Structure 1
Amino acid sequence: MKRPGPLLTLLAGLLLGLFLLTLDATSGTKNTTPTYKPAPTPTATVASPTPTVSRTPVADASYTGRTDDDTSSVAVTIRNGKAIAYFCDGRTKESWLRGGVGDDGSMRLTGRNGAELDGRLQEGKRIRGTLDIGGGHYAFTAAKAVKPSGLYRATARVRNAKLDGGWIVLPDGRQVGILDRDGKPGPAPRIDPATGAVTVDGEQLTARPATP
């Protein structure tokens, strides 16, 4: 019997090589290397600005009233966030006070010899507070004034005397005032609320609304 020839051997080798190539193609593994993704850049948080609280200044007005013990009168005039006040018993005791007014209506006014007024505007209709003057402590209520009620003042020099007068005109028309002559206080003469005219020692003066 004859042995297979060289051609048959070559064919067998080709078939074996083809089989091995096919096996390698079908059993190959996929590339499992993870894909790199950059981490997201953190977004900066912008703080919201603190809201500005808007406040409305206290309205200009005048207030007049009496102390709780009904011994004296009090008047307060507010202009542009400032106030002037006058305390008067109509005989010899008086005091002028000044200071600022907060947007909430609170006020602390001061005057000579340690005089002090602490008060608060209530609903824009009245001022409720206390006064410490000359060793006395007074609680008071002053309601919003409608002209001609209000606070008036006149200063002048008459016959070489320095005059300084203050008047509180109450809503019922009553007037409480003191006229100081060279440092000597006494009851003030009546003024004409419509014009402010007042006669002192034969001289006609004009009392005008007092403002801070």
Structure 2
Amino acid sequence: MKRPGPVLTLLAGLVLGLFLLSLNATTGTKSASSSQVEAPAASTSPSPKASATSSPSPTKTTASPTPSKSAPPNADYAGRTDDDSSAIAVSLRNGKAIAYFCDGHDKESWLKGDVKDDGTMKLTGKNGSELNGTLQEGKRIRGTVDLEGQRYGFTADKAVKPSGLYRATATVRGAQVDGGWVVLPGDGRDQVGIVNRDGEPSAAPDIDPETGAVTIDGEQLTAEPVTP
């Protein structure tokens, strides 16, 4: 009896090897499948809503309005300079002022401007004339007038009619007449004034303190109270 040849032996070994290889592959697949454990699905629990805490709105602090000062009352003031050389009258109306300064001969100035709530005033006129004054308790005005390089201190007390400031303008005998008067406190007889005839100043005649009537160069005029 002949032994199988080497070829048969080799074929038998090859078949056995393929069988074992196939068996190992099948076993490994099953092991791998069984070893895989599905991870539990992540729970999608809703995230808690942040509770909105409503903070109270800050209380606005309203500042109390600063009380406004009232404008100085309407009034008239008249008086003399400290050296008694000249007179001055000031009329206040609704925060405005007009003033007249004169020496009764040839020096005069009309001035005007605003009056502040604290009673101070700066009035200006022609040729750089200037009045700086302060109303004191509504009873008087204390201040200075700068005119033609000189400074005059003055005090003008509150005036009651017929005292105060007067003016008359007209054309008399072909000349332009402009007269100004300061009627000082009292019975109206103490007056200081200047009349300009075409720009030429001279002492003014007295006016009637009750009516304002005045005669200039033979013609009767009426001097009226002056207000701003």
Tell me which interval the TM-score lies in, with the shorter structure as reference length.
Answer: 0.7 to 0.9
- Structure 1 residue corresponding to 2:164, chosen from 138, 150, 154: 150
Q: Deviation per CA, 1:52-92: give whole Å up to 9, x if none.
A: 42221111110000111111001000111110000010000
- Three-state SS of the structure 2 residue aligned to 1:113 is helix
Letter in 1 for 2:174: N
Structure 2 unaligned blocks of 5 or more: 1-49
TM-score of the two chains, using structure 1 as the length reference? 0.80
Letter in 1 for 2:197: R
Corresponding position of 2:88: 74
Take 2:54 and 2:74, find their aligned partners in 1: how far apart are those partners?
A: 60
Equivalent runs, 1:18-33 vs 2, <5 Å: none
Instruction: State the shift of 1:45 in Å.
Output: 2.9
Take 1:38 and 1:210, find their aligned partners in 2: how far apart are those partners?
A: 73
Instruction: Verify: 1:186 aligned to 2:199, yes or no.
Output: no
- Three-state SS of the structure 1 residue aligned to 2:170 is strand
Deviates more, 1:50-59 or 1:151-160: 50-59
Q: Deviation per CA, 1:20-55: give whole Å up to 9, x if none.
A: xxxxxxxxxxxxxxxx97645143231314414222
- Structure 2 residue corresponding to 1:119, chosen from 113, 123, 133: 133
Corresponding position of 1:44: 58
Instruction: Verify: 1:196 aligned to 2:212, yes or no.
Output: yes
Equivalent runs, 1:71-150 vs 2, <5 Å: 71-150=85-164
Take 2:213 and 2:55, find their aligned partners in 1: how far apart are those partners?
A: 81
Letter in 2 for 1:114: G
Take 2:57 and 2:200, find their aligned partners in 1: how far apart are those partners?
A: 77
Count of residues in Structure 1 that have an aligned counterpart in Structure 2:
177
Instruction: Verify: 1:208 aligned to 2:227, yes or no.
Output: no
- Three-state SS of the structure 2 residue aligned to 1:191 is coil
Letter in 2 for 1:186: S
Take 2:144 and 2:100, find their aligned partners in 1: how far apart are those partners?
A: 13
Structure 1 unaligned blocks of 5 or more: 1-35
Take 1:38 and 1:160, find their aligned partners in 2: how far apart are those partners?
A: 93
Corresponding position of 1:160: 174
Take 2:148 and 2:166, find their aligned partners in 1: how far apart are those partners?
A: 22
Take 1:141 and 1:92, find their aligned partners in 2: how far apart are those partners?
A: 21
Report runs of 4+ in structure 1 exceeding 4 Å deviation: 36-40
Corresponding position of 2:16: none
Letter in 1 for 2:129: A
Letter in 2 for 1:198: V
Take 2:221 and 2:53, find their aligned partners in 1: how far apart are those partners?
A: 87
Instruction: Verify: 1:176 aligned to 2:188, yes or no.
Output: no
Take 2:181 and 2:63, find their aligned partners in 1: how far apart are those partners?
A: 51
